[in-house]
Amino acid sequence: MAPAGEESGAAGEAMVAQGPISNILIIIAMQTEAMPVVNRFQLTEEPEPAFPKGVPWVRYHGIYKDLHINLVWPGKDSNLGVDSVGTVSASLVTYAAIQALQPDLIINAGTAGGFKAKGSSIGDVYLVSDVAFHDRRIPIPVFDLYGVGLRQAYSTPNLRKDLNLKIGKLSTGDSLDMSTQDEATIIANDASVKDMEVTFEHHLIRFELNGSWHPCLRF
């Protein structure tokens, strides 16, 4: 695995060769996380979001310095009215947004839990270097590695340098709490932050849009 901040193989060269970025997709899990971005870039909600009829997913769109910005979040659960957090909603809305919007750049942004033992403090902004799962336990040789699903994120050294971001590994699971088994896997994953969506989205994006940019920011 290449060190964080360095380009991994020919993937970066292929992305650069695609030309300038003009269509950006921002994926955020919760409404309270999404609205500051919506307001900052003066995005407007699209009444026809180009998604299948009946889904709760919400899309905002606007233009900023000639960049088309689409922000998508999964919306509210139809039964309970809470934000649709977790890997299932995240993967579905990400796949649909890629199909409908064909972005050049995909940014996953949002809040995450951090660990003091790794030097994390409230308000730190992390650029994610690697992603893995901590709750997909498959105790069979090779399947155990598949369950953890360790992947290196796309390297964005200029972004890290220009914004002076911390960099660290992220571990994903569908539970907000942390069981002893989850904790052991998070430590084994060497994670600085944990969340409930990113790793699944990263796997999907690599499969669906090979060569597209997908940096991840967690706060």
Does the pLDDT of residue 212 top 90, yes or no?
A: no
pLDDT tens per residue, range 153-205: 888 889 889 999 999 999 999 999 999 999 999 999 999 999 998 876 776 66
* pTM score: 0.83
Mean pLDDT of 19-30: 91
Q: What are the boundaries of each domain within the chain?
A: 20-110, 111-212
pLDDT tens per residue, range 82-122: 999 999 999 999 999 999 999 998 998 999 999 999 999 99
CATH fold label, 20-110: Rossmann fold (3.40.50)
Does the pLDDT of residue 209 top 80, yes or no?
A: no
The CATH number given to 111-212 is 3.40.50.1580
Q: What is the 3-state secondary structure (H, E, C) of the chain?
A: CCCCCCCCCCHHHHHHCCCCCCEEEEECCCHHHHHHHHHHCCCEECCCCCCCCCCCCEEEEEEECCEEEEEEECCECCCCCCECCCHHHHHHHHHHHHHHHCCCEEEEEECCEECHHHCCCCCCCEEEEEEEECCCCCCCCCHHHHHHCCEECCCCHHHHHHHCCEEEEEEECCCCCCCHHHHHHHHHCCEEEEECCHHHHHHHHHHHCCCCECCEEEC
Query: Worst-scoring range by mean pLDDT, 28-32, 33-37, 49-53, 175-179?
Result: 49-53
In CATH terms, are 20-110 and 111-212 the same topology? yes
The percent of residues in the chain predicted with pLDDT above 70, rounded, is: 83
Mean pLDDT of 141-149: 97
